[in-house]
Amino acid sequence: MTPSTPLLPALEHQCRCFSMAELSSATDNFDEKWCIGQGGFGKVYKGMFSDDPTSIYAIKRLDFMSNQGATEFWVEVRMLSRLRHCNIVPLIGYCNEGKEMALVYEYMHNGTLYDHLHKNDTVLTWSQLLKICIGAARGLDYLHTGTGTQQGVIHRDVKSSNILLDQNYAAKIADFGLAKIGPINQTHTHVITTVKGTFGYMDPNYFYTGRLTRKSDVYAFGVVLFEVLSGRPASDNSGSSSS
C-alpha cells in the first residue's frame, strides 16, 4: 500500500525503509517471546538488527484484522518522520512490503505511564511523576506551537498509555495514527473531523460537535494529570480507542 500523497521521496531522507526480511530477522520471525504489547494497530515486538546489535528497537506490526490500517500508518510515518523533540518518541523507520506494514521506534525501557500507574508493582516517586508530567507537557507544547509550521499538530489521542518512558523515565509522547494538522489559517480555530479518540480522555465539546482544537489535547492531558494525582484510571476501558 502507498499513501494517497507522494510522501516516499521526502521520507527517504528522514527515516529508514526496512524490508520485512530485516524485521523478521530482528524478532526471530516475530516470535511471541519478543512480544511486548498489543494495541489497535497490532502487536509490538522487541528486536535487534544485525547491523546494530547493541541497540534495542520496538517494532509495531500491522494486524490484518485491525480496525486501524493504511491511513493511520501513513499519518504516523508522515508525522514522526518530520517531528524532532526530546519528548516525542523517535521513529527509526517503516516497512511497506506487499500487505505487510510495520513501524520501527526506539525501544522505551520503562513501558508506559499507564502501566506504572495501574498495573506495575513499581511505585514512581512524586519527583519522578512530576518530571514525567512536565516532559509530556513540553512534548505537547512542541506539537501545538513549536513544529515550525503555522498550523501545529493536534495529537487527538493523548492518554497515559501513549506516554512512554525511556531508561531515565523521560516522557515520550507516542502513537500519532490519529493526529491532525491544525487549522490552515488564523481565521479558523478548529478542524472539522470524524470523532476519534479514547473514551475517558475525549474532550466533550469535540465529541458532540466534531470540532477539533488544540484544547482537545489539553483536556485529555488534564485527565492524565488527574490519573497521576488520584491513581485512578480515566475509565474502566481506558486503554481502548473508539471511532
* 92 shares a domain with 15: yes
pLDDT for residue 219: 97
Low-confidence stretches of the chain (pLDDT < 50) are 2-13, 184-185, 187, 238-240, 243
User: Tell me, what CATH number does 202's domain have?
Assistant: 1.10.510.10
The cell for 38 is: 498489543
User: Tell me, what CATH number does 62's domain have?
Assistant: 3.30.200.20
* 58 shares a domain with 139: no
Asked whether residue 2 is domain-assigned, the answer is: no
* 117 shares a domain with 218: yes
- What domain range includes position 187? 113-230
What would the pLDDT profile of 201-220 be if each residue is shown by its tens digit?
Answer: 999 999 999 889 999 999 99
* 122 shares a domain with 102: no
Please count the structural domains in the chain.
2
Known binder of ligand: residue 180?
A: no
pLDDT for residue 5: 40
* 220 shares a domain with 135: yes
Q: Is 157 a catalytic residue?
A: yes
Residues 6+ apart with CB under 8 A from 160: 112, 113, 114, 117, 224, 227, 228, 234, 238
* 153 shares a domain with 92: no
The cell for 53 is: 546489535
Asked whether residue 213 is domain-assigned, the answer is: yes
Give, in order, the Cα–Cα distances in Å from 231 to each of 75, 77, 117, 168. Answer: 32, 33, 6, 22
pLDDT for residue 183: 64
User: Which among 52, 157, 166, 217 is annotated as catalytic?
Assistant: 157
